[in-house]
Structure 1
Amino acid sequence: MSTQEIDLAASAFWRLPDVERDAVFAVLRSEPAPRYFAGGSKVEWGLPSGQGFHALVSHADVVEATRRPEDFQSGQGAVSVMDLPVEFNEGFSSLLSMDGERHRRVRRIVTRAFAPRTLAKLSGTIDKVAAELVTAAVRRGEGDFVAEVAAPLPLRIICSMTGVPPSEYEFVFSRSSRILGAFDPEYAAGQPDVATNILTAGADLIQLIDDLVKQRETDPRDDLATTLIQAEIDGERLTRAEVASFFILLLVAGNETTRHAISNGLLLLQDNPDQRDVLLADYDRYGGTAAEEIVRLTSPTVWMRRTVSRDCSLNGSRYAEGDRLLLFYWSANRDEKVFADPSRFDVTRDPNPHVGYGAGGPHHCLGAFLARIELTAVFRELLRQAPGLQLAGEPERLASSFVNGYKRIGYRV
């Protein structure tokens, strides 16, 4: 296969099995950059005919672009290939679609809540929730792993942190699934188009957030809702719109990506019993490195967009102002120049400089440490309580080019 035969802009490409997509990206990594793919009617990106994007597929290119935010910016649509109004971008992706001082100002407000020292205090709660969910799954004997374990763990934790009551957990789950799974026919059911699906799901979350904020204004508590409405930076408080958009980011990204990492992790352990045995023998030693390896190999967030702010070079390749770049974390995490035997699942891999949480820089995932705690906790419980868990039926994959995840995974104990 040559690069001329590859079309990352074709929707059919994203329906290929992992092993076939992996082979395509390996070919792309072997060829010199830049690599350009036209959009238009061939793909769901929504780009006008003739417009497209440059694919950054090597680990070096993804890292370099991430660490040069002045040249490669997020404000025109970090999570969308097509250009969208600033209000739309910031309303639904908040920090992900901000640059410069505004990004630093908003991120600074909540950084402390996601600091390792703060989150370490939550580890006991996370361990407890993970144990409860796995215990309940084992008692059932069979069911859907995504609905019963992978989804509720990060959902319950992020909702508890932000102040969302348990009565609204299912509501948040359904709306976040529609936002990140908007291109999947199942989650788009009843909506005339993708944009309407996202907008209506987002509007529902905004209403929930507005009600919560009003409560916290008169009844402040020890949660992120109170932190966001009371915080000041240089004498200014976040606007109601900024609070709402940040909440959407936390509630959606804070549970969706970890949900898919847990789901993918289960499948990796099922496909690699030798690695499961390594963890069973010494989880305390390898639980942490296993969590990193799951994120590396499955890359729950497949790509993120940047826009070139001025004519510049990147590792010898020239890009023009306005060019769209897609940073393919999936490909960078399988780069042969960085990872030995990159397609192999190795729970002992160390060091593991993957970019599953980003590649440093100002947009590095705020919830990376939280995700690590959750992944380590849930797989400890699975291996302790259900080491013989088996899959039941074929897992149902989410139809998406942006998120690598599953809607349902049947299991039996």
Structure 2
Amino acid sequence: MTVETPPERPPLTSVDQVNLSDWDFWARPMADRERAFALLRERETPVFFAEPVVTYATPGEGYHAIVRHADVLAISRRPDVFSSGQGGATNIPDMPPEFTEYFGSMINMDDPRHARLRRIVSRAFTPKMIQKFEDDVRVAAAKIVDDLLETGPGCDFVTEVAARLPLKIICDMMGIPERDYRFVFDRSNIILGASDTEYVPADSVDGIVGALLTAGMELQQLVQDLAAHREANPTGDLISSLVNANIDGERLTMQELGSFFILLVVAGNETTRNAISHGLHLLTREPEQKARWLADVDGLAPTAVEEIVRLASPVNYMRRKVTQDIELNGTRYRAGEKAVMFYWSANRDRAVFADPDRFDITRHPNPHVGFGGPGPHFCLGAHLARREITVMFRELLTRVPRIEAGRPERLFSNFINGIKHLPCDF
């Protein structure tokens, strides 16, 4: 899965030219990706693809590519038929057994086990609880912009701005010391960027499997060491709450706590980072939208943030496995087959969004699936993500209104729609 600049190719003009499992597809220009998914959405039924070749698992028999908004909603609402727990939701080939110790979090589970874990941890992510972090988010965002102004133009917006806020908030919530921020940042990059040679070099001795397992083990060990101390010496952080939580007689095991932490730092850090990065890129590309937002920073923030998440769609897909034969929206799914929901594509469906490729910060309604579809797996941290994006852009627009992005350097991944580096000027 080493990324190389693909040769110049003619534009995609038919579904027969599209292969979502070809790693070269994910290295193509974004215009090619947009055209490919538009072609797939025009089909009456989902296209069935062979699975991508990866080093850590044996490809299965293939998958239905779910690219239309209505189909994503329909599948999301039937977790009883479309399973997250049979082989995992975050990868297309089934997750190897050795991965489940570190990556077998509730996102890769079905009820009732999924419901049990979500019930225990969800109390930390209610709107009321998020409100308690409001001051922390504001202070952190202000400090980041202070540092940006001191550093001056020409810096990397991703590492100096977009990545810092969610990383700090998640680590502070969990009670991770500041000295470990970089450690957490680097390991989360490996977990979601393992297919990119910047994070796992092509000549790595251990390869992608070794890098993933090592990063997972190190993050789990970090949180378990802290949890062992907080169990006897609780403080006000989330680790203390979770390790000592007893809800209807239920508690998290140390393995469950470690897997949840990995999910939290990866999902809560990487995805919000990418939404903020995409946001600056969109505002630079569409200066009239930026001018509108500048004219009413607080008033337009709610719709602007939703539109950023819609077009960014930081998580490209989630996978489900069919547990019984079913017909849904005219498509026949058979037990044992896989369905991969491409949120990025659903968020550009013309049947739902007028002029879907246009960035419109006043778009309303905006029923995007950037936080996942409806149902039990809707993003637990959506409230927190919205708050962080809102506060970060309030600071930027009011204090650095002339900030602009350069050319983004994109993450090579079929799972995350990421921006690794983004030069900025102001």
Structure 2 counterpart of 1:218, from 193, 210, 232: 232
How far did residue 232 of structure 1 move? 2.3
Counterpart position of 1:145:
157
Q: Which amino acid aligns with 1:369?
A: H
Q: Which amino acid aligns with 1:230?
A: N
Mapped partners of 1:381, 1:93: distance in 2: 37
Counterpart position of 2:370:
356
Counterpart position of 1:60:
70
CA RMSD across the alignment: 1.5
Q: Which amino acid aligns with 1:160?
A: D
1:214-363 alignment to 2 at 5 Å? 214-363=228-377
Q: Could you say what secondary structure the match of 1:81 adopts? A: coil
1:79-118 alignment to 2 at 5 Å? 79-85=90-96, 88-89=99-100, 91-118=102-129
How far did residue 85 of structure 1 move? 4.0
Q: Could you say what secondary structure the match of 1:100 adopts? A: coil
How far did residue 89 of structure 1 move? 3.5
Mapped partners of 1:40, 1:14: distance in 2: 12
Per mean C-alpha deviation after superposition, the further-off stretch among 31-40 and 53-62 is: 31-40
Mapped partners of 1:34, 1:45: distance in 2: 27
Q: Could you say what secondary structure the match of 2:105 adopts? A: helix
Structure 1 ranges of 4+ moved more than 6 A: none
Q: Which amino acid aligns with 1:84?
A: M
How far did residue 44 of structure 1 move? 7.0
TM-score norm. by structure 2 comes to: 0.93
**Residue 172, structure 1, aligned to residue 193, structure 2:** no
Q: Which amino acid aligns with 1:320?
A: R
Mapped partners of 1:284, 1:217: distance in 2: 41
**Residue 404, structure 1, aligned to residue 414, structure 2:** no
Counterpart position of 1:22:
34
Per mean C-alpha deviation after superposition, the further-off stretch among 13-22 and 373-382 is: 13-22
Per mean C-alpha deviation after superposition, the further-off stretch among 368-377 and 3-12 is: 3-12
Q: Which amino acid aligns with 1:179?
A: I
Mapped partners of 1:324, 1:386: distance in 2: 46
How far did residue 73 of structure 1 move? 0.7
Q: Which amino acid aligns with 2:193?
A: G
How far did residue 387 of structure 1 move? 1.1
How far did residue 87 of structure 1 move? 6.0
Mapped partners of 1:45, 1:278: distance in 2: 47
Q: Which amino acid aligns with 2:418?
A: G
**Residue 154, structure 1, aligned to residue 166, structure 2:** yes
How far did residue 236 of structure 1 move? 3.1
Q: Could you say what secondary structure the match of 1:305 adopts? A: strand
Mapped partners of 2:70, 2:58: distance in 1: 27
How far did residue 53 of structure 1 move? 1.3
Structure 2 counterpart of 1:209, from 216, 223, 242: 223
How far did residue 47 of structure 1 move? 4.3
Mapped partners of 2:352, 2:346: distance in 1: 9
Q: Which amino acid aligns with 2:38?
A: A
Mapped partners of 2:271, 2:228: distance in 1: 29
Mapped partners of 2:172, 2:38: distance in 1: 41
Q: Could you say what secondary structure the match of 1:70 adopts? A: coil
Mapped partners of 1:140, 1:239: distance in 2: 44
Residues 44 and 27 of structure 1, relative CA distance in 2, 3 Å threshold: farther
Mapped partners of 1:44, 1:329: distance in 2: 25
Q: Work out whether residues 40 and 46 of structure 2, in 8 Å CA contact, stay in contact via their aligned partners in 1.
A: no
- 1:283-330: per-residue Cα shift (whole Å, max 9, x none)? 111111111000101100000111101111121100111111110000
Mapped partners of 1:298, 1:243: distance in 2: 29
Q: Percent identity?
A: 51
Q: Work out whether residues 145 and 411 of structure 1, in 8 Å CA contact, stay in contact via their aligned partners in 2.
A: yes
Q: Work out whether residues 39 and 45 of structure 1, in 8 Å CA contact, stay in contact via their aligned partners in 2.
A: no
